């Protein structure tokens, strides 16, 4: 039986699982948290083909249900390292596993301001769609100027009384339509060329200090941090894998420079980080990983 491992349970990993399972591979998916990845935490999604609008959790659940119906096996363990001998050896926090082919779909982890960690859970969050409702009718701030920040700020504008958007650049670096939508909101105030310099917190956050040449204090109940992300690849210790700015370099089959190792989704050096592109990557990675494992099982490699 040809078998593959998939590391990461977001939409790229789930898509890879569906395609590999349909190719009659035995698939084991490693995910230390819940399935669905960042998509499960998104609010309304309007750019996924076949849906005029769908909630992120629902889209993720549809993919989870599809993969499980095909026989997906999941292991809720953290992968600590991947090395290669005759096969790939996966070491987790609970054991060791070996597979002839592996798909890495671990996505990205949030960038941090560098001083907010003590206040996480006290009013600092990295996910507006997860925690925004806790601040319904209140004033909040969000730090960031890219597409993720704009998307999160739009969600906050729907539930909060006032939203301060602290943009570190002189202009947004995001989709024009989304930016126009955001700045048109009467309860949104954008502070360009600004940085969060201090978080004011007793038991809970009650304000932030912002620096734009001079210090200003914003009276807010929460700060959402949306300043980008870094690929999660620290566990990958396989010779031949190339990286560009930390992202795994893949070819048009989503294959890496190490034979039998594939990567999909936001962890790769692909130019667009979207749900639909992650799913496309997963389809390729899952298909070619299954084919590679099949050749190994037949002694053709």
Average pLDDT over residues 247-258: 98
Share of the chain above pLDDT 70, in %: 100
DSSP string, the chain: --EEEEE--SHHHHHHHHHHHHTT-EEEEE-SS-TTGGGGG--EE--STT-SSEEHHHHHHHHHHHHHHTT-EEE---EEEEEESSSEEEEESS-EEEESEEEE---EEE---SS-GGGBTTTEES-HHHHGGGGTTSEEEEE--BHHHHHHHHHHHHH-SEEEEE-SSSS-BS-HHHHHHHHT-TTEEEETT-EEEEEEESSSEEEEEEESSSEEEE--SEEEE---EEE--TTB--TT--EETTEEP--TTSB-SSTTEEE-GGGB--S---HHHHHHHHHHHHHHHHHHHHHHHTT--
DSSP string, 74-95: EE---EEEEEESSSEEEEESS-
- What pLDDT, on a 0 to 100 scale, did the predictor assign at position 297? 87
Average pLDDT over residues 161-181: 97
- List the structure tokens of 103: 């798909």
Whether pLDDT at 21 is above 90: yes
Whether pLDDT at 300 is above 90: no
Question: Which residue in the block uniquely carries the two structure tokens 């496309």?
Answer: 280
Query: What 8-state DSSP symbol labels residue 249?
Result: P
pLDDT confidence bin for 120, thresholds 50/70/90: very high
| 124 contacts 205 by C-beta, under 8 angstroms | yes
- Cα separation, 199 vs 116, in Å, equals 7
- Cα separation, 73 vs 57, in Å, equals 21
Average pLDDT over residues 40-62: 90
Residue 297 or 278, more confident: 278
| 265 contacts 10 by C-beta, under 8 angstroms | yes
Average pLDDT over residues 47-66: 95
- What pLDDT, on a 0 to 100 scale, did the predictor assign at position 272? 87
CATH number of 117-225: 3.50.50.60
- What pLDDT, on a 0 to 100 scale, did the predictor assign at position 43? 75
Beta bridge partners of 191: 166
Whether pLDDT at 44 is above 90: no
- What pLDDT, on a 0 to 100 scale, did the predictor assign at position 207? 99
Q: Which of 107, 85, 26, 75 is nearest to 261 (CA)?
A: 85
Q: Give me the chain's average pLDDT, please.
A: 96
Tell me: the pLDDT tens digits for 85-109? 999 999 999 999 999 999 999 999 9
Whether pLDDT at 133 is above 80: yes
- Cα separation, 280 vs 266, in Å, equals 11
pLDDT confidence bin for 27, thresholds 50/70/90: very high
- What pLDDT, on a 0 to 100 scale, did the predictor assign at position 191? 98
Helix (H, G, I), strand (E, B) or coil at 212: coil
- Cα separation, 45 vs 75, in Å, equals 28
Whether pLDDT at 301 is above 80: no
Residue 44 or 214, more confident: 214
Q: Residue 139: count other Cβ atoms within 10 Å of its Cβ.
A: 18
- Domain boundaries for CATH 3.50.50.60 within the chain: 3-110+229-297, 117-225
What pTM, to 2 d.p., does this model score? 0.81
Domain boundaries 3-110+229-297, CATH class = alpha beta
Whether pLDDT at 169 is above 90: yes
Whether pLDDT at 204 is above 80: yes
Whether pLDDT at 278 is above 90: yes
- What pLDDT, on a 0 to 100 scale, did the predictor assign at position 41? 81
| 30 contacts 90 by C-beta, under 8 angstroms | yes
Whether pLDDT at 206 is above 80: yes
Whether pLDDT at 1 is above 80: no
* Range in 30-34, 206-210, 259-263, 294-298 the model is least confident about: 294-298
> Which residues are the active-site residues?
127, 130-131
Distances in Å between the alpha carbon of 263 and those of 27, 160, 252, 260, 275?
A: 15, 38, 11, 10, 15
């Amino acid at each position: 039986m040809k078998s593959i491992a998939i590391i990461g349970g977001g939409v790229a990993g789930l898509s890879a699982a569906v395609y590999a399972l349909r190719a009659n591979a035995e698939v084991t998916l490693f995910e230390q948290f819940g399935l669905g990845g960042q998509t499960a935490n998104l609010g309304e999604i309007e750019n996924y083909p076949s849906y005029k609008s769908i909630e992120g959790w629902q889209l993720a659940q549809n993919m989870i249900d599809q993969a499980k119906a095909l026989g997906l096996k999941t292991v809720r363990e953290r992968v600590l390292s991947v090395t290669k001998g005759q096969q790939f050896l996966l070491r987790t926090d609970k054991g060791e596993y070996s597979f002839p082919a592996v798909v890495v779909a671990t996505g990205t982890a949030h960038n941090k301001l560098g001083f907010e960690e003590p206040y996480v859970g006290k009013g600092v969050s990295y996910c507006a769609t997860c925690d925004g409702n806790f601040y319904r009718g209140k004033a909040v701030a969000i730090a960031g100027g890219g597409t993720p920040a704009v998307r999160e700020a739009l969600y906050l504008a729907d539930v909060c009384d006032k939203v301060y958007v602290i943009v570190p650049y002189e202009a947004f670096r995001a989709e024009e339509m989304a930016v126009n939508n955001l700045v048109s909101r009467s309860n949104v105030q954008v502070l360009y060329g600004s940085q969060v310099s201090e978080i004011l917190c007793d038991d809970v956050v009650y304000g932030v200090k912002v620096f734009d040449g001079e210090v200003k204090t914003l009276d807010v109940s929460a700060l959402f941090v949306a300043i980008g992300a870094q690929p999660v690849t620290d566990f990958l210790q396989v010779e031949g894998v190339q990286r560009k700015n930390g992202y795994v370099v893949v070819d048009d089959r989503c294959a890496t420079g190490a034979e039998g190792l594939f990567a999909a989704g936001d962890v790769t050096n692909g130019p667009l980080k979207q749900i639909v592109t992650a799913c496309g990557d997963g389809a390729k990675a899952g298909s070619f990983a299954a084919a590679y494992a099949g050749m190994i099982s037949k002694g053709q490699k």
